[in-house]
Amino acid sequence: MIQKEKNEQQSAENLKDKKTGNDLGTGSVGKLLLKLAAPAILAQVVNMLYNIVDRMYIGHIPEIGVSALTGVGLCFPIIILITAFSSLIGMGGAPRAAIFMGKREKEKAEEILGNCVTALVVIAILLTIVFLVFGRPLLILFGASENTIGYALDYMQIYVCGTIFVQMALGLNSFITTQGFSLISMLTVAIGAVTNIVLDPILIFGFQMGVQGAALATIISQAVSSVWVLRFLTGKKTKLRIQKKYLHVRAGILLPVLGLGVSPFVMQSTESLLNICLNASLSRYGGDLAVGAMTIMSSVMQICTLPLQGLTQGAQPIISFNFGAGKVDRIKKAFRLAITAGLTYTTAFWILLMVIPQVFVMIFNSSSTELMDFTVWSMRIYMAGLFALGAQITCQQTFLALGQAKVSLILACLRKLILLIPLILVLPLFMEDKVFGVFVAEPIADILASLTTVIVFSRIFPKLLRGVHPGKDEK
């Protein structure tokens, strides 16, 4: 009788998947990847606008644009760290939930979701307290000068008050994507981004709030997104629902989530540390001009890498679900399509940056000839190894989708902690042009890390697949 009920439940789930077009176990892999990745990529493009639209408006504020842009750029490490904690929970919990969904253990997947909701709330409260108390000394440590500290504080103090909204919107949105509802996931970001784009000019210029207006627009937008996410995950359309009985944290549920989420957390939090090292070194060797150029280049790097993350997010549910279901051929096909698309994209973007970097600089500031010339020169150096990131990020995220937290963590540490940060600190000591030494560290680390990641992946990936009991071959 119990087995019969399980079979009936599984048949109902299969029928539901087919009706929604999200049958991750039997649908065409190519069509699924396109269906899941396209909205995820679009969501990341919108998310990119979400992240950089403040800087676009701030950089064009009359008279103070360059200093204000530099000041807001100094807040990057804090913004990145807040986002990293949402990934610790969201990107750690979502793949595990997908694997249990593939095994038809829905209750376990919902328990993971409930534990993650509680963890995100607690983390948000702690982060808000820490950054409000220690914000000023941290910004000075990051390289703030007398000309930029005021703008940095104005932005940071308002932004961190919205940490709870960032955690809810970004952390829980991963659970929408992993169920195959990529369009809903995209709308989460789109609704917030549109709100932000509309509010920014009103608050910055209309109410003459400057950088404070930009920060306020951002947290209002994140609040709107978080309400959207919570309404969906407590509604009727979701497969996994937030339930009160699962909000009580259990170590056996949350610790594996943290173990898997530590890799994307390290990837993003080390980006924060990297930003600190870059800004501190550039402030020392090149002053506010170099830090301003780095703010623009960090924004351009986001323009490139966020859509790439959308591509890997689209592939993740397919790979995770079929790994849980034991369908090896579908895992291989999804990976091949993802890495081909990733390399093609990063190579095309790299060509644009080498040929017309000034177009990207003008997005953020067009009034300062000095900043334009310096940034165009430095961008061709800093972005020289960008083409290789398509392979590194795809392989690393595939390890994550397969539940290989340790391998993904090591590879996450390789590029930034082991290679890039030491190179930023060491290379200027041996070069006459010390600012060049800081910038050239990036392409060296990008290429070395990508080569290493591909080699490791080519050795471990086949072993992982050999350990999976093959499921039914699908066309």
pLDDT in tens, 119-132: 999 999 999 999 99
Q: What is the predicted pLDDT for the residue at 275? A: 87
Q: Identify the sign of the CA torsion 117, 122, 126, 129.
A: positive
Distance CA(1)–CA(44), nearest Å, equals 46
Report the pLDDT averaged over residues 162-189: 90
Task: Report the b/e string of 395-425 with b at 16+ CB within 10 A.
Answer: bbbbbbbbbbbebbbbbbbbbbeebbbebbe
- Residue 32 tokens read as 């699924």
**Could you tell me the end-to-end alpha-carbon distance of the chain, in angstroms, rounded to an integer?**
33
- With bands split at pLDDT 50, 70 and 90, how would you rate the model's confidence at 10? very low
Give burial (CB, 10 Å; 0-12/13-18/19+) of 467: exposed
pLDDT mean over 164-173: 95
Residue 162: DSSP 8-state:
G
pLDDT at 3: 46
d(CA 197, CA 455): 42
Helix axes 65-73, 149-159, angle to 10 degrees: 50
Rounded CA gap, 33 and 458, in Å?
Answer: 22
What is the C-alpha separation between 371 and 288, in angstroms, rounded?
10
Could you give the angle at which helices 328-355 and 389-401 cross, rounded to 10 degrees?
Answer: 150
> What is the distance of C-alpha 262 from the center of its chain?
13
Residues 6+ apart with CB under 8 A from 277: 421, 424, 425
Question: For the residues 136-160, what does the mean pLDDT come to?
Answer: 92
Domain boundaries, the chain: 28-466
The pLDDT, as a whole number, for residue 51 is 66
Q: Of 178 and 431, which is predicted with more confidence?
A: 431
Average pLDDT score over residue span 145-172: 94
Q: Looking at residues 74-99, what average pLDDT do you find?
A: 92
> Each residue of 22-80: pLDDT tens digit?
577 777 888 888 888 887 777 677 767 766 788 888 988 888 888 898 898 889 899 98
Mean pLDDT, the chain, rounded, equals 87
